Amino acid sequence: MKTRFCLLLLFISPFFQAQELDGLKNPILNRKNELRIDFGKITLDSKLQLTYEYFIKNRLSVGVSAMFINDQEKTYNSFQGERKYQIDPYVRYSFSNNNRSLFYSEFFNSINGGSNDKIARLNNLNYGYYDRIEYQYTDVAIGSSIGYKVYIAHRFPINLNLGLGFNLFNNSSPAVLSRAGFSTGYRF
């Protein structure tokens, strides 16, 4: 009797399936959070950049990226000055239907600060001369970037992005702000 009952369950069970979830077909969609670290900045510039991203929908996500720079090292760039910190909240939209490898575009806002050198005309009694003066700045920038992301084993992203932003308020800050990175992390 037990063997007949087990055989009956074995043959009937394929007809009694529960509703299939979208996440079972694509396990990436079940994982809404992602943490990444930018290894390109660590190896090249000794900067630490951490990123958190939350996926709202299949193609839309929001996140924040924070970069902190070691004060002991001089990372002065004549184009962008010497940044001490940069915090970038962003909104990202994917153009690909595939969730394992995708191209995206993002709009970001950046709160950044540091020091910048400018050449200024100074007066000493009746004589004028030019000298380089270092200014401390804090500014807000807006910009956009594009990128490519691929997932390995549905959990480990490799992310490449490149973008450009413009500082808005402070005349002492650099006019242009770059956003570039090569990061990897974990999606959960």
* Tokens 């807000």, residue located: 140
Q: Of residues 160 and 42, which shows the higher confidence score?
A: 160
Q: Give the CATH number of the domain where residue 63 resides.
A: 2.40.160.20
Nearest to 109 by CA among 140, 68, 83, 148: 140
| pTM flag (> 0.85) | no
Map residue 57 onto helix, strand or coil: coil
pLDDT at residue number 114:
87
Asked if the structure places residue 99 within a domain, the reply is: yes
Asked if the structure places residue 3 within a domain, the reply is: no
Map residue 22 onto helix, strand or coil: helix
Q: Is the pLDDT confidence value at 119 over 90?
A: no
Asked if the structure places residue 116 within a domain, the reply is: yes
Asked if the structure places residue 72 within a domain, the reply is: yes
The one-letter code for the residue type at 60 is L
Asked if the structure places residue 90 within a domain, the reply is: yes
pLDDT per position as a tens digit, 9-49 = 555 555 554 444 444 567 788 899 999 999 888 877 778 89
- Per the structure, the complete domain to which residue 106 belongs is given by 26-187
Q: Is the pLDDT confidence value at 107 over 60?
A: yes
Asked if the structure places residue 122 within a domain, the reply is: yes
Domain count, the chain: 1
Asked if the structure places residue 21 within a domain, the reply is: no
